[in-house]
């Protein structure tokens, strides 16, 4: 569904409102190709076309929400949307007044179109499998268009659409000896893909050496940006939301209380202005371009969605109370000096399956995975068997943080639960004086 | 037209211009879901979701392809068929396996969840009133800083037809009640769940009473407070008694996932991971002690993933995966079975109309042994009992795990002692199940499941059932919280 069709549908719905009803309509559209690969061959190929319409019907201080799938046929879609509207209208008398009802009263107009140069999926898979000839490549190609729309009877008219590709893969030598890569963005350049696969072949050559096994202990370590992302995902889980803070559930409680510190070189921001996610919330508020979450190791601001804003009397600055476009500030460690500064220790390419082992202590457990090596005297010497870590972020991002890299990587989320994610992260690698390996 | 007539109309529309393919399937999914939440005595906006779409799968010219669409008009279904044919052409050129391995089916079957009290039997207001009552019942003390009560409903009707005359109609229904209370004192926060929060099953509104939504509230809140004030779980090696609320997760992560055949075939290596289990292990590998008996059982009435057939149209039957500790067969649908040359199960499942089927768990159950929970505890000299999973992490081969629970209780000389907070344990799957030294009897069996099993590229989240009695494990590394 295109922008004009959505706004037209919203106008027709608005024309059917009764009395003082207010309507917010949202649209999420996806047209994606998905090609799964295993052993550098196609495992499963297909496509998905969907359009999800969400409605919030408000009368006085009452509100109800609903959503339905649209087909793309204007007549059928109008009938479906009107049917949903009527069902919501029938629910309104059953719900109590909502003291935290909060919608943007000012008509917002935002339009953003992120153009792209995307190849046909056949072409991309052909290029990839040719470059990866001889490799045991496994992963997924996801590409196509995403669009988000918002319209209201107040007058909101917002639209954002993007076209992008996300190639996420790993190459295996044997069992769990593998190196992972990703290539995502808007401008498909086969040379950039070739560069990544060449880099992967170099790492695989080290991976082919006999695996090193180490005992649980504390080790110096470098965490590459993809590994740092796993730690940021943990902080996103309750670390920054206003509701989590006001109900004492944030894992950063001890930081906020002043009992613990993060390293003064650490700054974390939510950068709505840079990211792919829509610049507006479902309730019709514009997101600010940037929100400082951690500044020089100190907690700065929470992410506040419309509901929490009303409950706690703060301004809205986010659609959801976890980062969608997180950025960690760069440091001064040049990427090409990482191994020399590490000296002897662990190079962690990726972390995996992290979870809280003690949320109050901001303590996280997880596994090393993909491209993790033992380093001696500044050189990768052997692949490392997967190890479990269990450590507090007050250490890894606090007293044991030695440096952040000067270069940062932009990582577009490959997540596709319920649809292709528009989340992204801009992250450096980090050098830590020690990480606790537990198993 | 009623729902089944509407689906029949779409089937007829599709059949009138079925794709030119050697085999095809059409999987139609119509879903309604509703979420009601009351938090701190305030109702959050109720949500009503309606979803309908179709997945067309074709086998054409030596390739296999799929396309999913929410456009169920004749033109929309034709477009989906054309897209599926294009995907099949890509598979034909660069496919991992011979598309002819894809199973053909003429199965005709039906399934309907057991429902005593339909969701529509009570008004929205009545349901919200119930949640207000439950939320208020959580308000036992000023140390409780957040109280939440919820009720979710999902009704999924799926019709799968095949070019060979297969026609499977399945109607699943779920009502999920739940409670949580969060307590805070002096820098320590603890959350306790109950009222059905980790006790998901198929069914209707009768699940509310079965889950004791109202009756459980005071216990949940008081346990949250008690946990805040409890000492940390001690660290060291101890015996471990896991209640069914944690056995669910233990079975899920370290038996269910490692036995998935698509992992063993390597399909999941870039995301969910592989498995420490290899094909030659089936039939001889000692997975656990002789007390370990695990079944794939989609026939248990009301268990979360009970069904008549999987999404490759294979009839669902109960089989043993592990018998007397010996590994017998993997979890793999017919396509995976043919690729691997191994037996399997009817478990090719898709999470929704917009995702293709892959190997998933359905109901993976640990069969009961003998005796009561008290009898298990009586056999422990120095140990910890753990209840209700809250943290889960395991390596990509499903071997090195670390799990955390909401509540622990020390066991000394065969008796339960005081509460401990932040209880956790870690181990290695390949060794852990061999330390199984006690399995509760049939009277201790609880039918539960998880509603957030994630896997696949593109990602899919599905419901999975697990039934288990409490179990006793010997000499496990346990620990508590803190920096």
pLDDT per position as a tens digit, B190-200: 999 999 999 99
Residue A317 and residue A302: Cα distance in Å, rounded? Answer: 9
Pair of tokens at residue A90: 């029938």
Instruction: Using a CB–CB cutoff of 8 Å, tell me whether B74 touches chain A.
Output: no
CB contact, 8 Å: A261 with chain B? no
What are the Cα distances from residue A174, in Å, to A366, A394, B406?
22, 36, 38
Element (H, E) at A144: strand A136-152
Task: Tell me, yes or no, whether B323 and B402 share the same domain.
Answer: yes
> B333 touching A, CB under 8 A?
no
**Do residues B405 and B456 share a domain?**
yes
- Picking from A46, A51, A66, the nearest residue to B47 by CB comes out as A66
d(CA A277, CA A423): 6
Mark whether B399 and B298 lie in a shared domain.
yes
- Binary contact (B48, A65; C-beta < 8 A): yes
User: Are B196 and B220 within 8 A, CB to CB?
Assistant: no
Tell me whether B278 touches chain A (CB under 8 Å).
Answer: no
Domains of chain A and any CATH numbers = 3-207 (3.30.2290.10), 218-436 (no CATH)
Measured CA distances, A87 to A4, A70, B288, B449 (Å): 25, 16, 53, 32
Alpha-helical segments (H) within B230-281: 244-251, 261-264
Contact B90 A142 (CB under 8 A): no
B288: its two tokens: 């656990």
Contact A24, A283 (CB under 8 A): yes
* B 142-181 → A contacts, CB under 8 A: 145-146
Query: Which positions ≥6 away from B218 have C-beta within 8 Å?
Result: B137, B138, B140
Which segments in chain A show pLDDT lower than 50? none
Q: Closest CB to B392: pick one of A68, A129, A355.
A: A355
Q: At what angle do helices A121-131 and A190-207 cross, to 10 degrees?
A: 40
Which pLDDT score, from 0 to 100, does residue A115 have?
Answer: 86
For chain B, the domain total comes to 2
- Shared domain for B258 and B225, answered yes or no, is no
pLDDT digit string, tens, across residues B431-471: 999 999 999 999 999 999 999 999 999 999 999 999 999 99
E-strand spans in B70-187?
108-112, 144-162, 167-185
As beta bridge partners, residue B111 has B170
Instruction: Tell me what pLDDT residue A44 has.
Output: 97
B75: helix, strand or coil: helix
Element (H, E) at A3: helix A3-14
Residue B22: how many other CB atoms lie within 10 Å: 16
Radius of gyration of chain B (CA): 24
Give the residue from B21, B82, B274, B354 with the most A CB atoms within 10 Å of its CB, the best one to mutate.
Answer: B354
Taken in order B2, B3, B4, B10, the sign of the CA dihedral is positive
User: Which of chain B's residues have a Cβ under 8 Å away from the Cβ of A168?
Assistant: 270, 457
CA distance B386 to chain A (A): 15
What per-residue confidence (pLDDT) applies to B257? 98
Which among A63, A88, A420 has the least Cβ separation from residue B48?
A88
Q: Report pLDDT for B123.
A: 97
- Residue B42 with chain A: CB contacts under 8 Å: 98-100
Last residue of a domain, one of B180, B205, B229: B229
Please state, in angstroms and rounded to a whole number, the distance separating the CA atoms of residues A164 and A421: 11
Q: Is A268 helix (H, G, I), strand (E, B) or coil?
A: strand
Q: Does A140 touch chain B (CB under 8 A)?
A: yes
Residue A385 has a pLDDT of 93
User: CB A36 to CB B45 under 8 A?
Assistant: no
How much of chain B exceeds pLDDT 70, in percent?
100
Tell me the per-residue pLDDT of B286-308, one tens digit each, with 9 for 90 and over.
Answer: 999 999 999 999 999 999 999 99
Domain end point (choices B174, B201, B229) = B229
pLDDT at position A176: 85
Q: Is the pLDDT of residue B319 over 80?
A: yes
State how beta strands B358-359 and B63-69 pair: unpaired
3-state secondary structure of A238: coil
The pLDDT, as a whole number, for residue A159 is 97
- Both B308 and B160 in one domain: the answer is no
In the structure, what pLDDT confidence band is assigned to residue B1 with cuts at 50, 70 and 90?
A: confident
Are A355 and B391 in contact (CB < 8 Å)? Answer: yes
Closest CA to B110 of B256, B293, B254, B315: B315
Asked if A78 and A9 count as a contact pair (C-beta separation under 8 A), the reply is yes
CB-based contact A392 B70, cutoff 8 Å: no
Q: Which 3-state string (H, E, C) describes A204-222?
A: HHHHCCCCECCCCCEEEEE
> What is the distance in angstroms between the Cα of A64 and the nearest Cα belonging to chain B?
5
What pLDDT, on a 0 to 100 scale, did the predictor assign at position B292?
Answer: 98
Same domain? B200 vs B342 = no
Interface of A with B in 88-107 (CB under 8 A): 88, 91, 94-96, 98-100
In sequence order, which ranges of A92-165 are alpha helices (DSSP H)? 121-131
pLDDT of A135 reads 98
CA distance B438 to B472: 5
Please write the tens of the pLDDT for every residue from A217-226: 999 999 999 9
Convert B456-482 to b/e letters by CB count within 10 Å (16 or more is b): bbbbbbbbbbbbbbbbbbbebbbbbbe
Q: Say which of B52, B87, B125 has its CB closest to residue A69.
A: B52
Given CB atoms, is A307 within the 8 Å cutoff of chain B? yes
**Averaged pLDDT of chain B:** 97
Q: Give ∠ CA A87-A92-A93 in degrees, rounded to 5.
A: 120
φ, ψ (nearest 5 deg) of residue A196: -65, -40
CA angle A154, A155, A161 (to 5 degrees): 130
Task: Number of helices (H) and strands (E) in chain B: give both, helices first.
Answer: 10, 23
Per-residue model confidence (pLDDT) at position B328: 98
Task: Answer yes or no: do B208 and B288 share one domain.
Answer: no
pLDDT digits (tens, 9 = 90+) for B336-371: 999 999 999 999 999 999 999 999 999 999 999 999
Q: Is there a single domain that holds both residue B166 and residue B291?
A: no
At A99, list the tokens. 């003291």
pLDDT digits (tens, 9 = 90+) for A168-215: 999 999 888 999 999 999 999 999 999 999 999 999 999 999 999 999
H-type helices in B333-453, by residue range? Answer: 334-340, 373-378, 429-432
Out of B229, B260, B282, pick the residue that ends a domain. B229
A142 to chain B: nearest residue by CA? B458
The shortest C-alpha distance from B464 to chain A (Å) reads 17
Q: Which domain holds residue B440?
A: 236-479
Task: Clarify whether residues B164 and B250 are in a common domain.
Answer: no
Strand order across the beta sheet in which A298-299 lies? A298-299, A291-295, A268-270, A325-328, A424-427, A409-412
pTM of the model: 0.97
Query: Among residues B243, B229, B40, which one has the least CA distance to residue B147?
Result: B40
Interface list for A 341-370 with B (CB within 8 A): 352-361, 363, 365-367, 369
Side-chain-side CA neighbours of residue A335 (13 Å): 10
Size of interface A-B (CB pairs under 8 A): 272
Strands B400-412 and B382-394: antiparallel
Q: Check CB contact under 8 Å for A140 and B43.
A: no
Task: Please check whether residue A51 is in contact with residue B52, taking contact to mean a CB–CB distance below 8 angstroms.
Answer: no
Is the distance from CB of B133 to CB of B216 less than 8 angstroms? no
Minimum Cα–Cα distance from A48: chain B residue = B68
Residue labelled with tokens 């009435």: B301
Are residues B280 and B376 both part of a single domain?
yes
Asked if B396 and A386 come within 8 Å (Cβ–Cβ), the reply is yes
CATH number at B76 reads 3.30.2290.10
Q: Are B409 and B385 in contact (CB under 8 A)?
A: yes
CB-CB contact of A118 with A146 (8 Å): no
Same domain, B402 and B455: yes
Tokens (6 digits) for B466:
């697990």
Query: Mutating which of B24, B148, B312, B402 best tests the A interface, going by the most A Cβ atoms within 10 A?
Result: B402
Same-domain pairing of B137 and B79? yes
């Amino acid at each position: 569904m295109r922008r004009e069709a959505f706004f037209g549908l919203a106008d027709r719905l608005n024309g059917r409102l009764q009395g003082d009803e207010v309507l917010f309509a949202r649209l999420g559209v996806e047209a994606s190709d998905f090609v799964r690969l295993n052993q550098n061959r196609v495992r499963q190929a297909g496509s998905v076309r969907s359009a999800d319409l969400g409605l919030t019907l408000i009368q006085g201080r009452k509100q109800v929400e609903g959503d339905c799938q649209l087909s793309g046929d204007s007549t059928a879609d109008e009938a479906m949307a009107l049917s949903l509207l009527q069902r919501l209208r029938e629910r309104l008398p059953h719900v109590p007044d909502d003291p935290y009802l909060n919608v943007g009263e000012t008509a917002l107009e935002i339009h953003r179109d992120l153009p792209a140069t995307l190849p046909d999926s056949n072409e991309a898979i052909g290029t990839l499998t040719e470059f990866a000839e001889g490799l045991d490549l496994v992963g997924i190609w996801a590409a196509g268009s995403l669009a988000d729309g918002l319209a209201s009877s107040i007058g909101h008219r917002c639209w954002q659409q993007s076209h992008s590709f996300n190639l996420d893969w790993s190459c295996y030598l044997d069992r769990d000896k593998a190196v992972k890569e990703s290539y995502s963005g808007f401008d498909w350049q086969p040379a950039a893909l070739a560069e990544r696969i060449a880099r992967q072949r170099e790492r695989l050559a080290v991976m082919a050496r006999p695996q090193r096994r180490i005992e649980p202990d504390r080790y110096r370590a470098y965490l590459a940006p993809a590994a740092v992302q796993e730690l940021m995902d943990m902080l996103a889980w309750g670390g920054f939301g206003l509701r989590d803070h006001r109900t004492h559930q944030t894992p950063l409680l001890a930081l906020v209380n002043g009992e613990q510190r993060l390293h003064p070189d650490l700054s974390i921001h939510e950068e709505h202005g840079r990211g792919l996610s829509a610049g507006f919330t479902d309730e019709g508020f514009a997101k600010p371009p940037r929100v400082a979450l951690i500044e020089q190791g100190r907690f700065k601001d929470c992410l506040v969605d419309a509901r929490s804003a009303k409950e706690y009397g703060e301004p809205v600055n986010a659609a959801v109370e976890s980062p969608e476009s997180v950025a960690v500030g760069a440091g001064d460690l040049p990427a090409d000096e990482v191994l020399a500064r590490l000296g002897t220790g662990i190079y962690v390419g990726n972390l995996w399956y992290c979870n809280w082992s003690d949320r109050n202590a901001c303590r996280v457990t997880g596994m090393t995975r993909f491209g993790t090596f033992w380093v001696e005297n500044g050189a990768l010497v052997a692949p490392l068997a997967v190890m479990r870590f269990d450590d507090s972020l007050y250490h890894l991002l606090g007293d044991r943080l030695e440096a952040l890299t000067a270069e940062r990587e932009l990582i577009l989320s490959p997540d596709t639960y319920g649809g292709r994610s528009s989340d992204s992260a801009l992250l450096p690698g980090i050098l830590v004086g020690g990480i606790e390996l537990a198993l | 037209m009623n729902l089944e007539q509407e689906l029949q109309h779409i089937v007829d529309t599709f059949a009138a211009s079925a794709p030119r393919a050697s085999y095809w399937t059409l999987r139609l999914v119509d879903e309604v879901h509703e979420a009601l939440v009351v938090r701190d005595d305030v109702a959050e906006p109720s949500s009503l979701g309606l979803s309908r779409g179709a997945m067309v799968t074709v086998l054409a010219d030596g390739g296999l392809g799929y396309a999913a669409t929410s456009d169920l008009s004749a033109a929309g279904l034709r477009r989906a068929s054309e897209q599926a044919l294009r995907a099949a052409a890509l598979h034909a050129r660069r496919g991992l396996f011979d598309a002819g391995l894809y199973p053909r089916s003429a199965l005709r079957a039906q399934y309907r969840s057991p429902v005593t009290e339909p969701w529509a039997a009570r008004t929205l207001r009545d349901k919200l009133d119930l949640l207000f009552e439950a939320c208020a019942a959580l308000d036992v003390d000023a140390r409780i800083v957040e109280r939440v009560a919820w009720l979710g409903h999902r009704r999924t009707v799926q019709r799968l037809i095949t070019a060979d005359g297969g026609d499977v109609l399945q109607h699943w229904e779920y009502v999920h009640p739940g409670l949580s209370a969060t307590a805070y004192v002096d820098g320590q926060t603890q959350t306790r769940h109950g009222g059905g929060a980790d006790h998901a099953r198929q069914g209707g509104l009768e699940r509310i009473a079965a889950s004791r939504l109202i009756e459980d509230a005071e216990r949940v809140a008081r346990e949250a407070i008690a946990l805040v004030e409890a000492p940390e779980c001690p660290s060291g090696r101890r015996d471990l008694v896991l209640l069914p609320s944690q056995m669910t997760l233990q079975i899920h992560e370290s038996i269910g996932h490692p036995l998935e055949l698509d992992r063993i075939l390597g399909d999941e290596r870039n995301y969910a991971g592989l498995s420490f289990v290899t094909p030659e292990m089936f039939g001889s590998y000692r997975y656990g002690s002789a007390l370990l008996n695990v079944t794939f059982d989609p026939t248990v009435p009301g268990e979360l993933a009970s069904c008549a057939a999987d999404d490759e149209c294979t009839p669902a039957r109960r089989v043993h995966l592990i018998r007397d500790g010996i590994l017998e067969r993997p979890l793999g649908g017919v396509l995976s079975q043919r690729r691997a040359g191994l037996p399997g199960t009817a478990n090719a499942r898709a999470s929704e109309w917009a995702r293709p089927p892959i190997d998933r768990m359905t109901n993976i159950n640990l069969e009961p042994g003998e005796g009561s929970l008290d009898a298990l505890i009586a056999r422990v000299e120095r140990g910890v009992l753990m209840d209700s999973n809250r943290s889960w992490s395991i390596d990509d081969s499903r071997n090195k795990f670390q799990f955390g629970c909401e509540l622990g209780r020390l066991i000394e000389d065969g008796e339960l002692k005081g509460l401990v907070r932040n209880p956790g344990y870690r181990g290695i799957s390949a060794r852990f199940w061999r330390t199984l030294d006690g399995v509760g009897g049939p009277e201790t069996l609880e039918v539960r499941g998880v509603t957030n099993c994630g896997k696949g590229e593109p990602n899919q989240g599905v419901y999975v059932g697990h039934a288990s009695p409490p179990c006793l494990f010997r000499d496990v590394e346990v620990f508590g919280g803190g920096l």
